[in-house]
Chain A
């Protein structure tokens, strides 16, 4: 059998999503963002919503998400993505509206917008990348930084007496009457990626079904900020991050 006998459209089991652009991603090797971007592009394509999806990009590493995911976008000010998504969805209820935010954006400067959008039950999906650090600005402490974790602004490790405690904001959002689906996933293995994809798809479907706010937290790595190799980062995440941020559904109604 010749190789050309195998490479045929009917034999294809995997392809690059058509909505993932050819732009060279600026993310560090080993970063979780690329995987989650791919999942979003894939799901929008599979749902056939290329022409009606509107994303809201954050401030942070994913600020240029619109350069990689080829749907309409609005770039938010730091933390305000859920406010933007609120307006976009209310003004265009037939659109699939999602935000893509990191932990600093969503759980520090944007805590108010996150809580209130979810509490109003806005029909939006919030994709939340929690890597416990401010990646873009150079690895400073985030609200989700673990106790003892060294960052640029906690060089001797996060101390509860100085810096307070890591914030499990998804648990807060799950408490709100307006949220319908809150789940915590990860993307460090093929099995985890498949679960994360199903979760994001469910969040998108919920928002189109008008069920309320869905939030998918992806517990992620930032190997540059954590000063570890990608492989070490995945191990470190499994050993330390999952203890504070255990995976699984927090709410599913």
Chain B
């Protein structure tokens, strides 16, 4: 049954995965997301649900274990943080190209390089524009609360299995580390092998009663490989049509629009309150799916506004998509902090005034 708990975002990911009937987790420790593996090992789900939990020798091994598990039709996932996710990019490309469902969690830290262990959102490009090789996309979900960390595990798997594509939870280090109340879902039973054979006729389960199944991304016939690519693209168009999610707050009547995702959208709510006290009306669009991106929703919310500020923990990545959303017809500016710094609401409000209001005086 459902259970109300107080816990970190990273812990919620682990509990949610067990309850959403995960078959396997393969991961490697890296700050700030090591609590996912630690929580799973402490919960010992192999004794209760039969879930496999394995600390791999590297992120490269972990993502390839996920690739194989996904090829078996299993609900498998991994979690890491930015440098580890960089190591996984080849595997992600293979999973996408083999049309397999998998869940990948990136609790972002500041880069580039070894960077810092503190929060960041600077993996936006990598996650949304295809960090690995070739033309592929992942569904990218951006949680802004511990509850969403929990909920997006189930949502991520549902979408991944529906479209046979990898889904990523792109969380910033703040959401991973902060503690909040969370309602954990009921325990779902894991699927039996028979159910997997029925639901995933492509799965590698041993060729009982059918012809050979092969999980592969290899196709040396140019025309067939082009057809594969066209099929991937059709899936992506379908996802863009059906799966865009975003949250609009106060966007029907506002002077300026803030666009932010993850924990930064929560900071923007405070900015909006503070601005209202000064008589300045702000609206917020929080993209929940970063890919597919809510272009139309932002264009709609931006009607009549004087300007748009994207607030990001990076040097300005999502701003490119926001500019595309409004075709550069409205002034779009960026305010961001880097290096693991997180802006205060004051700072964001002052930045908005500096960039749009004071400058024009």
Q: Is chain B's interface secondary structure helix, strand, loop, or mixed overall?
A: mixed
Chain B, range 181-217, C-beta contacts under 8 Å to A: 193, 204-209, 212-217
Complex Cα–Cα for A57 and B214 (A)? 10
Q: Are B212 and A70 in contact (CB under 8 A)?
A: yes
Do A90 and B54 form a contact, CB below 8 Å, given A72-B213, A74-B215?
A: yes
Complex Cα–Cα for A213 and B24 (A)? 21
Asked if A116 CB lies within 8 Å of chain B CBs, one says yes
Complex Cα–Cα for A113 and B57 (A)? 8
A115 to chain B, nearest CB (A): 8
Asked if B69 CB lies within 8 Å of chain A CBs, one says yes
Asked if B74 CB lies within 8 Å of chain A CBs, one says yes
Complex Cα–Cα for A73 and B211 (A)? 12
A132 to chain B, nearest CB (A): 25
The contact string, 1 if C-beta is below 8 Å from chain A, for chain B 53-95, is 0101110111011111101101010000000000000110010
Q: Are A80 and B206 in contact (CB under 8 A)?
A: no
Taking a contact as CB atoms closer than 8 A, the residue among B64, B76, B207 that contacts A77 in the complex is B64
Complex Cα–Cα for A39 and B60 (A)? 31
Q: Which residues of B contact A66 (CB under 8 A)?
A: 212, 214, 216
A65 to chain B, nearest CB (A): 10
Asked if B328 CB lies within 8 Å of chain A CBs, one says no
Do A72 and B91 form a contact, CB below 8 Å, given A77-B64, A91-B23?
A: no
Q: How many residues of B contact A (CB 8 A)?
A: 38
Q: Are B26 and A87 in contact (CB under 8 A)?
A: yes
Do A86 and B65 form a contact, CB below 8 Å, given A54-B206, A72-B204, A72-B206?
A: yes
Asked if A83 CB lies within 8 Å of chain B CBs, one says yes
Q: Is chain A's interface secondary structure helix, strand, loop, or mixed overall?
A: mixed
Do A88 and B207 form a contact, CB below 8 Å, given A66-B216, A72-B212?
A: no
Q: Are A87 and B68 in contact (CB under 8 A)?
A: yes
Closest to B57 in A: A116
Taking a contact as CB atoms closer than 8 A, the residue among B57, B66, B72 that contacts A92 in the complex is B72
Q: Which residues of A contact B65 (CB under 8 A)?
A: 83-84, 86-87
The contact string, 1 if C-beta is below 8 Å from chain A, for chain B 9-28, is 00000000000000110100
The contact string, 1 if C-beta is below 8 Å from chain B, for chain A 1-27, is 000000000000000000000000000
Q: Which residues of A contact B61 (CB under 8 A)?
A: 80, 83, 86, 112-113, 116
Q: Which residues of B contact A54 (CB under 8 A)?
A: 204, 206
Complex Cα–Cα for A69 and B30 (A)? 40
Asked if A133 CB lies within 8 Å of chain B CBs, one says no
Q: Which residues of A contact B56 (CB under 8 A)?
A: 83, 116
Asked if B218 CB lies within 8 Å of chain A CBs, one says yes
Asked if B267 CB lies within 8 Å of chain A CBs, one says no
Q: Which residues of B contact A51 (CB under 8 A)?
A: 206-209
The contact string, 1 if C-beta is below 8 Å from chain B, for chain A 53-78, is 11011000001101000111111110
Chain B, range 32-58, C-beta contacts under 8 Å to A: 52, 54, 56-58
Q: Which residues of A contact B67 (CB under 8 A)?
A: 74, 77, 80, 84
Q: Are B204 and A75 in contact (CB under 8 A)?
A: no
Q: Are A84 and B24 in contact (CB under 8 A)?
A: no
Q: Are B24 and A90 in contact (CB under 8 A)?
A: yes
Q: Are B68 and A83 in contact (CB under 8 A)?
A: yes
Closest to A21 in B: B212
Q: Are A91 and B213 in contact (CB under 8 A)?
A: no
Sampled A-B contacts (16; CB under 8 Å)? A52-B208, A53-B206, A66-B214, A66-B216, A73-B213, A74-B68, A80-B61, A83-B60, A83-B62, A84-B64, A84-B67, A84-B68, A86-B61, A87-B24, A91-B52, A112-B61
Further pairs besides A54-B206, A90-B54: 14, Cβ < 8 Å: A54-B204, A66-B212, A71-B206, A74-B204, A77-B64, A80-B67, A80-B91, A83-B61, A87-B64, A87-B72, A91-B24, A91-B52, A91-B76, A113-B57
